[in-house]
């Protein structure tokens, strides 16, 4: 039976009905990884060990790939930095604990920009990951490995993390569904910290239902994470069938400097929603360029602080192993926090952050979701980043405002450009309203099947 | 605000504070890059903030004062990832 | 010594290790004394990648209790901040502490015997670091202590002598022990002192000098006075020679009784404080403040006990001081009073203070029973006593003459005879007085 491209939910059905055993399925993916991953370099570490899955676990042994910034007990975790080259965590991140408890089997740890500092996976100390759609191009970042793995079906679904764009952007560039939940919806305990007030664990999947499935397992308050919200978790899968008409906000600022093909496909997608009775409403939001400044300051400050623990004494290698990008961010963060500059930079950034949050709150009085392109352009060629001085920030310009406000968002593929590269569109929701963005995305998927974007690519990588 | 240009001394001072070693090439690079970034983020001064409503009061998040063995590491686990240990201690070069 | 032109200006920073069960931000045991190295760590207090802090509620309440006992204002909004510096005993490269929104601010306390009120600038909470063990070639690190809750009490610089500091500390220690939040033992390290010392000149009229010397490593009460006095003298000597003390940190060397410079280079710390993003800011309402007040009243303080003894039980000042300073003594006293006749109260206090061996290892009820029995014996007094005395005096002419000639111990002999005659049922002091009167 050819299962290449089968969704997570479908695989669970196969496992549940014993059409396949969990070790057969694990073996299937490990074989594909061995066969194809030298082309992509999606994985940093693969786990060969066969795991037993006990009966009654809801995922029945579903294999999954996890981004290498999630601590996995007994399995090397590097954040794609040579500093942690030999680090084997003695504990599991809460996300990992929940997945194991639900019966997932870990296939391996996926490549990323080192310390999640980047938007292309090029800052990894373990080599760049290639985009399965075009091996001369990057998959995006920082969750590039997870995106490439799911794209080429070296994993049916994967866990990623996003600070500002790190799930949505690689999902967009690889033609997949990328879900970034509300900040505080999923526990950060065990996620190697980058931007403490921004980091969100999330997923990269082939279908919206798989994203809903994973969110249901991962969401919820964690007593080990004081920033995780004490709020009930809805049944996301059953929310999917909701087709009530919504008001969709669209802001001109989010179409500035966007490739025409990308804009066009997003506009076509809006037509699909119009057809289904949703209202499109023009909204005005503060220009994203301020969000870039806010994000740059807050993130760099938090990064400089979060990386202070890597001194090589208790684990890992010394700070001389830190890469260029890490050092650069640490330097800027140190500067904005240093004596005499805190008020002008960090404090000001926090104030403007509240202004941006309030701006969204105002807009959400009139709309239920906001739709925009996920990225201004499609996947860049490897090395092309050097052309753009503010590379990461420019790639993530459409993701940063929502991210600093902590809003949930989902990327879905809406077509291909003339280079056959995937174009992504994002749906941004209110705080803790993942249900609405997920069911709207699901409606689009049902209608269009993403124009075959997720499926066509697998023709290149059939067994 | 006038365009800020990072001096070599400033870059070295930051590297010192952050315990980061830089090559001469990196120092020059960072002088330029940091200056560019600072120039960009100056745009924040364009936003004159009106009074923003205070964040909603949330429940304080604490834990009850009880020990729990769940997360405690054995000495072997605690020391497993270090290259520098002696007996059951972590070790560093003698601090004066 | 020309000390009159210079006045010592001293401020204190006292760290108190709390006796909570768990550490400040994780569930490892907080009591590390005598434990084998690195047996009480977890991802949080070891600073592993990905670990996150969650605050210990009781530790926060204890800090507020201390603040309230020092008459501070309990701030309704507070938060944690990260304080950055690199040191091997600091696993995260920053300490979670409090910067500009501490739990308690602006208190004042006049301790018994201190004759002056001292102002408390702030009381806040933070986490302790690991412990270093210096060997020949290497320094060893034990993280059992990392993350233990510490309360930091900062006074205004309104101390002017070593004696003043010592008295304050002694009273503070009693207070902290009364609150039962710490054993506040300097030798064990659960109470630590840093003093900031500078010399102000009378001429500058109360303006604070532009430097201060921080003295650390004073590990016991008996060294507090010595260390501070040495430092004061050192600074005065310098100033008199025309020099100026450097702003620096100095340690105290116990054996030589001197302070010595600890920093080889002038390093003004840039701690790059910013609000701890992993812990949401904390809010307290009026109901909570009431709760802390109630907690305070439940854990009685020295001052409360002392007033109670003097006002309610009419115990002498002297005796009240001694009984009040030890909570256990006070509790013993109260239990005695519960079962004793009110006329015996003063005697109970007297015996507890002057003849403590009589109450050692004795239960209050048993002690009171014995005392009651003794006092119920008929006491010979007044006319009857006088007649017994006269009888003895008549029968002991030699002793009487000896006394008249100045031999003091003759009277003791006579008193003893009377006591023997009366089988102890009289007050020796009264007998002596009466004999003296007669002769």
Q: Chain C: give the shortest CA distance to residue A394, in Å.
A: 25
Q: Which residue of B has its CA nearest to C45?
A: B72
A118 close to A299: Cβ distance less than 8 angstroms? no
pLDDT tens, per residue, chain C with 439 residues: 455 688 999 999 999 999 999 999 999 999 999 999 999 999 999 999 999 999 999 999 999 999 999 999 999 999 999 999 999 999 999 999 999 999 999 999 988 777 889 999 999 999 999 999 999 999 999 999 999 999 999 999 999 999 999 999 999 999 999 899 999 999 999 999 999 999 987 666 666 788 889 998 788 888 999 999 999 999 999 988 988 888 888 989 888 889 988 865 445 679 999 999 999 999 999 999 999 998 888 776 787 888 889 888 999 989 999 999 888 899 999 999 988 888 889 999 999 999 888 888 889 999 998 888 877 776 767 777 888 888 888 888 888 888 888 888 888 888 888 888 877 777 777 888 888 888 7
- Asked, for residue C106, whether it belongs to a domain, the answer is yes
User: What tokens appear for A123 in the block?
Assistant: 């800052």
Q: Is the pLDDT of residue A55 over 80?
A: no
The rounded distance, in Å, linking the Cα atoms of A408 and A185 is 9
pLDDT tens, position by position, C308-328: 898 889 999 899 999 998 888
CB pairs below 8 Å between A and C: how many?
Answer: 99
Q: Which residues pair with C139 in a beta bridge?
A: B92, C134
- CB-based contacts of C138, cutoff 8 Å, min separation 6: B86, B91, B92, B93, B94
- Nearest Cβ partner of B67 from C22, C88, C279? C22
The structure tokens listed for A187 are 């526990």
Are B15 and A331 a contacting pair at CB < 8 A?
Answer: yes
From the list C35, A326, C230, the residue with the least C-alpha distance to B20 is A326
Tell whether C36 and C78 lie within a shared domain: yes
Exposure of A255 in the CB half-sphere (CA atoms within 13 A): 18
Tokens of C255: 């054996």
Partners of residue A59 on adjacent β-strands: none
Q: Across the B/C interface, how many CB contacts are shorter than 8 Å? A: 111
DSSP, collapsed to helix, strand or coil, labels residue B90 as strand
Cα A290 from Cα C85, distance rounded (Å) = 31
How far is it between the farthest Cα atoms of chain B?
A: 59
Whether residue A56 is predicted with pLDDT greater than 90 in this model: the reply is no
Q: Is C74 helix (H, G, I), strand (E, B) or coil?
A: strand
Query: C372 and C387 share a domain?
Result: no
DSSP state of C95: E
Domain-located, residue C257:
yes
**CA distance to partner chain B, nearest, from residue A414 (Å):** 33
Q: Which residue of A has its CA nearest to B82?
A: A315
Candidates C38, C136, C270; nearest CB to B78: C38
pLDDT digits (tens, 9 = 90+) for A162-218: 999 999 999 999 999 999 999 999 999 999 999 999 999 999 999 999 999 999 999
Give the one of B78, B88, B95 whose C-beta lies nearest to C132's C-beta: B95
- Residue C292 in any domain: the answer is no
- Could you give the CA distance from residue A301 to residue C431 in angstroms, rounded to a whole number? 84
Last residue of a domain, one of C283, C314, C347: C283
Q: Residue A455, exposed/middle/buried by CB under 10 A (0-12, 13-18, 19+)? A: middle
**Hey, which bits of C222-330 come out as E strands?**
248-253, 258-261, 274-275, 282-283
Structural domains of chain A in order of their starting residue, each with its CATH number: 8-461 (3.90.1300.10)
CB A238 within 8 A of CB A217: no
Q: Chains contacting A with at least 3 CB pairs below 8 Å? A: B, C
Domain check: are C191 and C91 in the same one? yes
In this predicted structure, the answer to whether residue B1 has a pLDDT above a threshold of 60 is no
- Asked if C216 and C260 touch (Cβ cutoff 8 Å), the reply is no
Would you say B6 and B22 are in contact if contact means Cβ atoms under 8 Å apart? no
Q: How many domains does chain C have?
A: 3
Which residues from chain A sit within 8 angstroms of residue B22, using beta carbons? 327
pLDDT digits (tens, 9 = 90+) for A233-272: 999 999 999 999 999 999 999 998 899 999 999 999 999 9
First to last CA, chain A: 11
DSSP A163: S
Q: What is the CATH number of the domain that holds C404?
A: 1.10.10.410
Nearest by CB to residue B89, choosing from C22, C141, C270, is C141
Q: What is the mean pLDDT of residues A24-31?
A: 96
Domain match, C10 and C108 both: yes
Residue of C nearest to A315 (CA): C48
Alpha carbons A42 and A139: distance in angstroms, whole number: 10
Chain C residue with CA closest to A229: the answer is: C280
Does A305 reach chain C within 8 Å, measured CB to CB?
A: yes
CA angle A268/A151/A144 to nearest 5° reads: 100
Between chains, do A225 and C94 touch, taking CB under 8 Å as contact? no
A80 at the C interface (CB within 8 A)? Answer: no
Tell me if C91 and A309 make a contact (CB, 8 A cut-off): yes
- Please indicate whether residue A166 is annotated as part of the active site: yes
**Are residue C308 and residue C195 in the same domain, yes or no?**
no
Shared-domain flag, residues C220 and C133: yes
Q: Cα separation of C211 and C268, whole Å? A: 13
d(CA C359, CA C326): 14
For residue C358, the SS3 value is helix
Instruction: Kindly state the tokens that stand for A275.
Output: 């057809």
Mutate to test the interface with A, among B4, B8, B18, B31 (most CBs of A within 10 A): B18
How far is C104 from A435, CA to CA, in rounded Å? 43
d(CA A380, CA A131): 10
Whether residues C48 and A189 touch (CB distance < 8 A) is answered with no
- Judgement on whether residues C273 and C327 belong to the same structural domain of the protein: no
Give domain status of residue C1, yes or no.
Answer: no
Instruction: Let me know if A209 is a catalytic residue.
Output: no
With contacts defined as CB-CB under 8 Å, which chain A residues touch B49? Answer: 351-352, 354-355
The angle formed by the CA atoms of residues B13, B18 and B22, to the nearest 5 degrees, is: 70
DSSP conformation letters of A115-159:
GG--SSSTT-TT-PPPBTTBTTB---SSSHHHHHHHHTTSSSEEE
Distance CA C75, CA C98 (A): 12
Kindly list the partner chains of chain C, i.e. chains with 3 or more CB atom pairs below 8 Å: A, B
Query: Are residues C208 and C103 part of one domain?
Result: yes
- Are residues C92 and A309, on separate chains, in Cβ contact within 8 Å? yes
Residue of chain A minimizing CA distance to C268 = A339
Which chain B residues contact residue C75 at CB under 8 A? Answer: none
> Are B92 and C141 in contact (CB < 8 Å)?
yes
Q: Which residue has the tokens 């005993």?
A: C89
Round to whole Å and give the CA distance between B91 and C17.
25
Specify whether the CB–CB gap between C66 and A238 falls below 8 A. Answer: no
Concatenating the DSSP letter of every residue in A295-362 gives HHHHHHHHHHHHGGG-SSSSSS--GGG--HHHHHHHHHHHHHHSTTTTIIIIIHHHHHHHHHHHHHHH
Determine, yes or no, domain membership for C68. Answer: yes
Residues C259 and C399 in one domain: no
**In terms of domains, do C253 and C326 share one?**
no
With contact defined as 3+ CB pairs under 8 Å, the chains touching B are: A, C
Nearest-Cα distance to chain B for C87, in Å, is 10
In a domain, C293, yes or no: no
| Per annotation, catalytic residue among A7, A22, A67, A109 | A67
Claim to verify: residue C353 and residue C255 sit in the same structural domain: no
Q: Let me know if C373 is exposed, middle or buried by CB neighbors in 10 A (0-12, 13-18, 19+).
A: exposed
φ/ψ of residue A24, rounded to 5: -65, -45
Determine, for residues C272 and A338 on separate chains, whether the beta-carbon distance falls below 8 Å.
Answer: yes
Torsion of CA C345, C348, C353, C357, to 10 degrees: -170
Residue-wise pLDDT tens digits, A4-20: 999 999 999 999 999 99
The yes-or-no answer on residue A67 being catalytic is yes
User: Could you tell me if C99 and B59 are in contact, meaning their C-beta atoms sit under 8 angstroms apart?
Assistant: no
pLDDT of residue C203: 66
- C-beta atoms of A226 and B61 within 8 A: yes
What is the distance, to the nearest Å, from the Cα of residue A178 to the centroid of all Cα atoms in its chain?
5
Write out chain B residues lying below 8 Å of C27, CB-based.
Answer: 63, 66-68, 70-72
Q: What secondary structure does DSSP assign to A71-85, as a single string?
A: -BTTB---TT-GGGT
The pLDDT, as a whole number, for residue C1 is 47
Looking at the domain assignment, is residue C191 inside a domain?
yes
Find, among A344, A343, A350, the residue nearest to A302 by Cα.
A350
- Provide, as residue numbers in chain B, all residues whose Cβ is less than 8 Å from the Cβ of A389: 36
Q: Which of C388, C390, C346, C339 is nearest to C367 (CA)?
A: C339
ipTM of this complex prediction, to 2 decimal places = 0.96
3-state DSSP percent of chain C in helix, strand and coil, to 5:
40, 20, 40
B59 contacts in A (CB within 8 Å)? 230
Distance CA C353, CA C329 (A): 10
* Residue C294 counted as domain residue: no
Over residues B26-38, mean pLDDT? 91
Q: How far apart are the first and last CA of chain C?
A: 55
List CB contacts (< 8 A) between B90 and chain A.
313-314
Chain C hits for A224, CB-CB cut-off 8 Å, are 52, 54
Q: Which of C37, C147, C17 shows the shortest CA–CA distance to C92?
A: C147
Helix (H, G, I), strand (E, B) or coil at C112: coil
Indicate whether C195 and C138 sit together in one domain.
yes
* pTM of the predicted model as reported, rounded to 2 decimal places: 0.88
The whole domain housing C431 covers 382-438
Identify the contact set of chain B against chain A, taking CB-CB distances under 8 A.
Answer: 11, 14-15, 17-22, 26, 30, 33-34, 36-38, 40-47, 49, 52-53, 55, 59, 61, 63, 71, 73, 77-78, 80-84, 90, 92
Yes or no, beta carbons of B22 and A330 under 8 Å apart: no
pLDDT band, residue B55 (cuts 50/70/90): low
Q: What residues of A are in contact with residue B17 (Cβ under 8 Å)?
A: 334, 338
Element (H, E) at A413: strand A409-416
| Mean pLDDT across chain B | 89
CB contact under 8 A, B67 and C21: yes
Neighbours of A342 (CB within 10 A): 16
- A384 close to A435: Cβ distance less than 8 angstroms: no
B93 neighbourhood in chain C, CB within 8 Å: 137-139
């Amino acid at each position: 039976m050819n299962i290449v491209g089968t969704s997570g939910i479908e695989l669970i059905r196969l496992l549940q009905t014993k059409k396949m055993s969990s070790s057969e399925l694990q073996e299937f993916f490990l074989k594909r990884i061995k066969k194809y991953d030298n082309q992509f370099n999606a994985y940093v570490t693969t786990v060969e060990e066969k795991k037993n899955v006990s009966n009654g676990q809801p995922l029945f042994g579903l294999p999954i790939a996890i981004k290498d910034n999630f601590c996995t007990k007994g399995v090397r975790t590097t954040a794609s930095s040579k500093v942690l080259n030999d680090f084997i965590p003695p504990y599991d991140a809460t996300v990992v604990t929940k997945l194991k408890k639900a019966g997932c089997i870990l296939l391996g740890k996926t490549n990323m920009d080192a310390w999640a500092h980047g938007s292309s996976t090029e800052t990894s100390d373990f080599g760049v990951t290639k985009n399965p759609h075009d091996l001369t191009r990057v998959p995006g970042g920082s969750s590039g490995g997870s995106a490439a793995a799911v794209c080429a079906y070296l994993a049916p679904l994967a866990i990623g993390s996003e600070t500002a764009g790190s799930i949505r952007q690689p999902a967009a560039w690889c033609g997949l569904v990328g879900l970034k939940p509300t900040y505080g919806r999923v526990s950060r305990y065990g996620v190697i910290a980058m931007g403490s007030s921004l980091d969100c664990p999330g997923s990269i999947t082939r279908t919206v239902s798989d994203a809903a499935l994973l969110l249901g397992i991962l969401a919820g308050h964690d007593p080990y994470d004081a920033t995780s919200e004490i709020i009930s978790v809805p049944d996301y899968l059953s929310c999917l069938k909701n087709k009530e008409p919504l008001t969709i906000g669209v802001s001109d600022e989010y179409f500035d400097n966007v490739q025409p093909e990308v804009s066009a496909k997003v506009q076509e997608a809006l037509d699909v929603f119009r057809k289904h009775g949703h209202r499109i409403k023009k909204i005005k939001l503060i220009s994203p360029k301020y969000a870039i400044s806010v994000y740059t300051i807050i993130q760099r400050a938090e990064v400089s602080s979060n990386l202070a623990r890597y001194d090589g004494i208790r684990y890992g290698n010394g700070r001389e192993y830190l890469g260029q990008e890490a050092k650069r961010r640490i330097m800027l963060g140190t500067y904005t926090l240093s004596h005499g500059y805190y008020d002008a930079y960090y404090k000001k950034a926090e104030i403007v952050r509240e202004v941006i949050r309030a701006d969204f709150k105002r807009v959400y009085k009139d709309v239920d979701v906001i739709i925009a392109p996920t990225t201004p352009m499609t996947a860049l060629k490897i090395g092309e980043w050097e052309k753009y001085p503010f590379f990461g920030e420019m790639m993530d310009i459409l993701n940063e405002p929502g991210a600093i406000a902590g809003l949930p968002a989902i990327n879905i593929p809406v077509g291909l450009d003339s280079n056959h590269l995937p174009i992504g569109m994002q749906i941004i929701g209110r705080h803790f309203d993942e249900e609405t963005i997920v069911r709207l995305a699901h409606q689009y998927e049902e209608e269009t099947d993403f124009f075959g974007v997720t499926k066509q690519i697998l023709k290149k990588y059939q067994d | 605000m006038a365009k800020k240009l990072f001096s070599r001394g400033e870059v070295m001072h930051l590297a010192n504070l952050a315990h980061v070693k830089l090559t001469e090439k990196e120092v020059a690079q960072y002088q330029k890059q940091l200056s560019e970034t600072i120039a960009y983020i100056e745009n924040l001064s364009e936003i004159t903030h009106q009074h923003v409503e205070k964040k909603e009061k949330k429940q304080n998040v604490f834990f009850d004062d009880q020990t729990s063995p769940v997360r405690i590491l054995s000495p072997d686990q605690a020391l497993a990832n270090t290259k520098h240990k002696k007996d059951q201690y972590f070790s560093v070069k003698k601090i004066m | 010594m020309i000390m009159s032109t210079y006045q010592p200006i001293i401020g204190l920073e006292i760290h108190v290790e709390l006796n909570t069960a768990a550490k400040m931000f994780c569930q490892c045991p907080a009591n590390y004394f005598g434990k084998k190295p690195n047996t009480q760590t977890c991802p949080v207090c070891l600073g592993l990648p990905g670990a996150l802090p969650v605050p210990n509620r009781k530790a926060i309440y204890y800090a507020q209790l201390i603040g309230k006992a020092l008459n501070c204002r309990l701030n309704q909004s507070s938060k944690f901040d990260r304080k950055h510096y690199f040191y091997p005993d600091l696993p995260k490269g920053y300490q979670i502490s409090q910067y500009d929104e501490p739990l308690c601010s602006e208190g004042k306390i006049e301790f018994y015997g201190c004759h002056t009120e001292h102002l408390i600038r702030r009381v806040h909470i933070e986490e302790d670091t690991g412990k270093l063990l210096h060997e020949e070639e290497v320094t060893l690190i034990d993280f059992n202590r990392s993350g233990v809750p510490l309360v930091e009490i900062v006074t205004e610089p309104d101390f002017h002598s070593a004696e003043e500091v010592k008295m304050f500390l002694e009273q503070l220690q009693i207070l902290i022990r009364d609150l039962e939040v710490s054993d506040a033992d300097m030798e064990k390290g659960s109470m630590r002192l840093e003093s900031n010392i500078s010399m102000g000149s009378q001429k500058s009229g109360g303006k604070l000098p532009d430097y201060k010397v921080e003295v650390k490593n004073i590990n016991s009460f008996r060294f507090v006075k010595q260390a501070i006095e040495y430092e004061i003298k050192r600074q005065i000597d310098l100033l008199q020679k025309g020099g100026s003390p450097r702003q620096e940190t100095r340690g105290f060397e116990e054996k030589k009784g001197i302070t010595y410079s600890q920093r080889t280079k002038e390093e003004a710390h840039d701690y790059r404080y910013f609000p701890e993003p992993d812990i949401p800011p904390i809010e307290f309402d009026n109901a909570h403040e009431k709760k802390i007040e109630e907690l305070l009243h439940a854990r009685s303080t020295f001052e409360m006990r002392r007033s109670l003894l003097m006002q309610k039980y009419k115990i002498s000042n002297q005796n009240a001081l001694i009984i009040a300073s030890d909570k256990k003594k006070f509790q013993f006293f109260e239990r005695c009073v519960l079962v004793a006749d009110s006329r015996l109260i003063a005697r109970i206090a007297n015996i507890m203070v002057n003849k403590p061996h009589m109450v050692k290892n004795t239960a209050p009820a048993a002690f009171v029973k014995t005392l009651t029995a003794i006092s119920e014996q008929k006491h010979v007094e007044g006319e009857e006593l006088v007649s017994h005395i006269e009888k003895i005096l008549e029968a002991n002419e030699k002793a009487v003459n000896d006394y008249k000639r100045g031999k003091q111990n003759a009277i003791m002999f006579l008193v003893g005879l009377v006591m023997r005659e009366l089988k102890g049922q009289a007050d020796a002091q009264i007998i002596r007085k009466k004999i003296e009167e007669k002769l």
